[in-house]
Amino acid sequence: MLFELRQYRIKPGQQAAWVEFMENIIIPFQQSKGMVILGSFTDEEDETVYIWIRRFRDEAEREAQYEAVYQSDEWKNEIGPQIPDMMEREGVVVRRLNPTPHSSIQ
């Protein structure tokens, strides 16, 4: 298994709209394409921070799911164009994580 911890910088005043967009649009869409979303989080002290974690069986699955999501017409024409209104794209940090042997998340 491999994991992605994705941290986004949300524009000031947009956190509530972003969370709603993620929970009602992005996460269900990505799940419909086979992605496993383990959780999503906001920061207690910084309203511009949003974090979510995705899990993939291996690199081949990650590549296939990226293709299915990000190359789809729905993403390109409907979902993706809405993102810059709420999120600072240059603030995106993606960490690829491997679980340690005793991690409860595998």
How many structural domains comprise the chain? 1
Strand partners, 87: 10
Within-domain flag for 102: no
The dihedrals phi and psi of 5, each to the nearest 5 degrees, come to: -105, 115
CATH number of the domain residue 80 falls in? 3.30.70.100
Within-domain flag for 79: yes
Q: Sign (positive/negative) of CA torsion 69, 71, 73, 79?
A: positive
What is the extent of the structural domain holding 84? Answer: 2-97
The dihedrals phi and psi of 94, each to the nearest 5 degrees, come to: -120, 125
Whether the model pTM is above 0.75: yes
Within-domain flag for 106: no
Within-domain flag for 88: yes
Question: Using one digit for the tens of pLDDT, what is the confidence trace for 44-89?
Answer: 999 999 999 999 999 999 999 999 999 999 999 999 999 999 999 9
